[in-house]
C-alpha cells in the first residue's frame, strides 16, 4: 500500500468515484447538521451576521485556493509526482492567505450590521480557511480516505461542536471560532502527512509555485468570478443596506449549502474524467452529464417543494422561505448543477479555459445588478429570481461551449 505522499498515482475506477462522492456528500451535509443549532443559538439577526461572513469567506477561500480546487484534481491525476503538486499548492495558498485574510476581515466589518462586527469578521476568517482544504488532492489521486480523514470528519466535528457550544453557552461567536482553529489544525496535519514526510527540494517548490501563478491565473480568475456570482447576493444586500438582507439570509444559506454539495459531488468526477482520454474520456463525460441532469432534477424539485415548510421547522421561528422564493431557488440550484458538471468535467478537461472564463464572467457581471434590481422590485422573491436568471445565463454559455466536445468534435 502506498503512503499518501508517495509518487505513484492511484488508478481511477468507478469504485473510487463512488467513495469520493460519498465522502463529499458527508462533507456537504456537515454544515446542515449544525444549522438548526446555530440558528437557535444566534437568532435571525446574529445568524445574518454569520451568513454574511460565510458568504465573504467563501469568496475569500476561492481567492486563497487560486484555482487548485478546479485544476488541482486534473494536475494531480495526470502527474507522475502528485505530492510535488500538493507542496506547490501549499506555498501558493499560504502566501495568498497572508494577503486575503486581512482584506476579507475589513470587508466583513463594512458589511456587518452589528456594533462590534466580531461575529461577521470571525465567520469570514473561518470560512476563508476552507481554501486550505485537501479534498481536491484526494480527488486527483483517487484516495477517498484522505478526504474522509482531513476534510469530511473534521467538518462534521467542528460544525457540530462549535454550534453546540454556541447554543449551550449562549455565545454565537464560539461557532466560527471553533471552525477557525480546527480548520488550521486539520490543514497542518494533512500538510505534514502528504507533503512533508518525504525528502523534497525547497527550490523546486518555489519554482513550481511561480509556475502555478504564471500558468494558473486564468483558472484562478474563473474560480473567483464563479464564486463571486454565487456569494455576492447576500453580501451585496448587506453592503448596500437593503432591508431584504436579513430575510434573504436563510434562503441564501440553504441555497449555498446546495451549491457546496454539488461542487463536492461534481469534483469527485474530475479525476475519473481527467485520467482518461479519447473515446473513454468522452464516454465518461457524457455519463457524468447524464447523472448530473438527474441530480439537477431531484435537487431542484426538492428545493422548491421541501424548503418552504422545512425551513421554519429546522431553523426555528423567524426563518421562513416562501414557495415562490423556493421555486426560484430550485431553478437556480438545478441550473447550477448541470453548469458545474459541464464546466468541471467537459469544458476544462478539454482545454477550453477561455470559454469557461467567458461563461463565469457573464455570471459575475450580471449577479449584482440582477439581485439589487430584483430586491427593489419584489424583495426576497425578486432577489431569488435574479439569482435564478443569472444561473440560467451561465448554464447557457457553458452548454454552448460543451456541445462540440460532447458531440465528439
pLDDT score of 18: 67
Rg (CA), the chain: 20
Asked, for residue 7, whether it belongs to a domain, the answer is: no
End-to-end CA distance of the chain: give it in Å, rounded.
40
Determine the Cα–Cα distance for residues 267 and 278; give it in Å rounded to an integer: 20
- The rounded percent of the chain whose pLDDT value lies above 90 is 35
Section 39-48 average pLDDT = 80
Determine the Cα–Cα distance for residues 161 and 195; give it in Å rounded to an integer: 29
**C-alpha distances out from residue 404 to 100, 399, 408, Å:** 38, 9, 6
- Residues of the domain holding 228: 14-406
Determine the Cα–Cα distance for residues 253 and 259; give it in Å rounded to an integer: 10
Q: Is the pTM of this model over 0.75?
A: no
Q: For residue range 130-142, what is the model confidence (pLDDT) as tens digits?
A: 899 888 888 778 7
pLDDT score of 409: 67
Q: Is 2 within 8 Å of 10 (Cβ atoms)?
A: yes
Asked, for residue 124, whether it belongs to a domain, the answer is: yes
Determine the Cα–Cα distance for residues 195 and 84; give it in Å rounded to an integer: 7
Asked, for residue 6, whether it belongs to a domain, the answer is: no
Other beta carbons within 10 angstroms of residue 215's beta carbon come to 11
**C-alpha distances out from residue 262 to 132, 164, 300, 345, Å:** 19, 26, 12, 13
Determine the Cα–Cα distance for residues 220 and 242; give it in Å rounded to an integer: 30
DSSP assigned state of 46? H
Asked, for residue 5, whether it belongs to a domain, the answer is: no
Whether residue 43 has pLDDT greater than 90: no
Angle at 344 between CA 341 and CA 348, to 5 degrees: 135
pLDDT score of 328: 97
Collapsed DSSP state (helix, strand, coil) of residue 12: coil
Q: 211 pLDDT band (50/70/90 cuts)? A: confident
Asked, for residue 9, whether it belongs to a domain, the answer is: no
Determine the Cα–Cα distance for residues 70 and 309; give it in Å rounded to an integer: 35
Q: For residue range 260-280, what is the model confidence (pLDDT) as tens digits?
A: 788 878 877 877 787 677 888
Collapsed DSSP state (helix, strand, coil) of residue 375: helix
Backbone dihedral region for residue 200 (phi beyond 0: left; psi -120 to 50: alpha; all else: beta): beta
Asked, for residue 88, whether it belongs to a domain, the answer is: yes
pLDDT score of 3: 44
Which string of b and e fits 259-270 if b means at least 16 CB within 10 Å?
A: bbbbbbbbbbbb
Q: 9 pLDDT band (50/70/90 cuts)? A: very low
Q: For residue range 149-178, what is the model confidence (pLDDT) as tens digits?
A: 888 889 889 988 998 998 898 888 999 999
Q: Which of 273, 291, 276, 292 is closest to 346 using CA atoms?
A: 273
Over the chain, what is the mean pLDDT? Answer: 84
Asked, for residue 398, whether it belongs to a domain, the answer is: yes
pLDDT score of 121: 94
Q: For residue range 374-398, what is the model confidence (pLDDT) as tens digits?
A: 988 888 899 999 999 999 999 999 9
Q: How many domains does the chain have?
A: 1
Cell digits of residue 339: 453548469
Whether residue 114 has pLDDT greater than 90: no
Q: Is 246 within 8 Å of 320 (Cβ atoms)?
A: no
Asked, for residue 2, whether it belongs to a domain, the answer is: no
Whether residue 230 has pLDDT greater than 90: no
Lowest mean pLDDT: which of 67-81, 117-131, 177-191, 383-397? 67-81
Q: Which of 398, 357, 396, 394 is closest to 70 using CA atoms?
A: 357
Q: Is 183 within 8 Å of 150 (Cβ atoms)?
A: no
Determine the Cα–Cα distance for residues 61 and 202; give it in Å rounded to an integer: 25
Q: 293 pLDDT band (50/70/90 cuts)? A: very high
Tally helices (H) and strands (E) across the chain: 14, 0
Whether residue 1 has pLDDT greater than 50: no
Q: Which of 332, 333, 352, 327 is closest to 342 using CA atoms?
A: 352
Q: Is 346 within 8 Å of 289 (Cβ atoms)?
A: yes
Lowest mean pLDDT: which of 12-16, 219-223, 313-317? 12-16
pLDDT score of 6: 44
- CA 299 centroid distance within chain: 17
Whether residue 11 has pLDDT greater than 80: no
Amino acid at each position: 500500500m502506498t503512503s499518501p505522499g508517495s509518487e505513484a498515482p492511484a488508478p481511477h475506477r468507478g469504485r473510487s468515484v463512488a467513495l469520493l462522492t460519498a465522502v463529499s456528500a458527508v462533507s456537504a451535509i456537515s454544515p446542515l447538521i449544525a444549522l438548526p443549532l446555530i440558528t437557535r443559538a444566534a437568532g435571525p439577526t446574529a445568524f445574518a451576521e454569520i451568513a454574511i461572513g460565510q458568504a465573504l469567506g467563501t469568496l475569500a477561500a476561492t481567492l486563497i485556493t487560486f484555482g487548485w480546487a478546479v485544476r488541482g484534481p486534473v494536475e494531480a491525476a495526470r502527474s507522475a509526482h502528485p505530492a510535488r503538486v500538493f507542496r506547490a499548492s501549499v506555498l501558493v495558498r499560504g502566501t495568498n492567505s497572508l494577503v486575503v485574510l486581512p482584506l476579507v476581515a475589513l470587508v466583513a466589518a463594512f458589511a456587518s450590521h452589528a456594533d462590534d462586527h466580531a461575529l461577521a469578521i470571525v465567520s469570514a476568517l473561518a470560512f476563508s480557511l476552507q481554501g486550505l482544504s485537501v479534498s481536491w488532492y484526494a480527488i486527483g489521486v483517487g484516495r477517498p480516505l484522505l478526504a474522509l480523514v482531513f476534510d469530511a470528519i473534521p467538518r462534521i466535528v467542528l460544525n457540530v461542536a462549535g454550534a453546540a457550544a454556541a447554543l449551550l453557552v449562549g455565545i454565537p461567536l464560539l461557532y466560527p471560532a471553533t471552525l477557525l482553529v480546527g480548520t488550521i489544525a486539520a490543514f497542518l496535519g494533512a500538510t505534514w502527512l502528504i507533503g512533508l514526510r518525504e525528502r523534497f527540494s525547497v527550490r523546486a517548490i518555489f519554482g513550481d509555485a511561480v509556475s502555478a501563478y504564471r500558468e494558473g491565473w486564468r483558472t484562478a480568475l474563473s474560480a473567483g468570478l464563479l464564486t463571486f456570482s454565487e456569494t455576492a447576493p447576500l453580501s451585496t444586500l448587506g453592503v448596500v443596506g437593503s432591508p431584504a438582507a436579513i430575510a434573504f439570509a436563510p434562503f441564501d444559506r440553504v441555497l449555498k449549502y446546495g451549491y457546496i454539495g454539488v461542487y463536492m459531488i461534481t469534483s469527485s468526477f474530475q479525476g475519473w474524467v481527467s485520467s482518461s482520454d479519447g473515446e473513454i474520456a468522452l464516454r465518461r463525460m457524457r455519463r457524468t452529464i447524464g447523472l448530473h441532469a438527474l441530480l439537477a432534477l431531484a435537487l431542484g424539485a426538492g428545493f422548491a417543494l421541501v424548503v418552504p415548510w422545512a425551513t421554519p421547522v429546522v431553523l426555528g421561528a423567524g426563518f421562513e422561505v416562501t414557495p415562490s422564493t423556493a421555486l426560484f431557488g430550485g431553478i437556480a440550484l438545478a441550473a447550477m448543477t448541470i453548469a458545474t458538471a459541464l464546466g468541471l468535467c467537459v469544458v476544462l478537461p478539454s482545454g477550453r479555459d477561455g470559454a469557461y472564463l467567458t461563461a463565469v464572467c457573464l455570471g459575475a457581471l450580471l449577479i449584482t445588478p440582477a439581485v439589487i434590481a430584483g430586491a427593489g422590485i419584489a424583495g426576497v422573491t425578486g432577489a431569488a429570481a435574479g439569482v435564478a436568471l443569472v444561473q440560467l445565463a451561465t448554464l447557457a454559455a457553458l452548454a454552448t461551449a460543451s456541445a462540440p466536445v460532447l458531440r465528439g468534435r
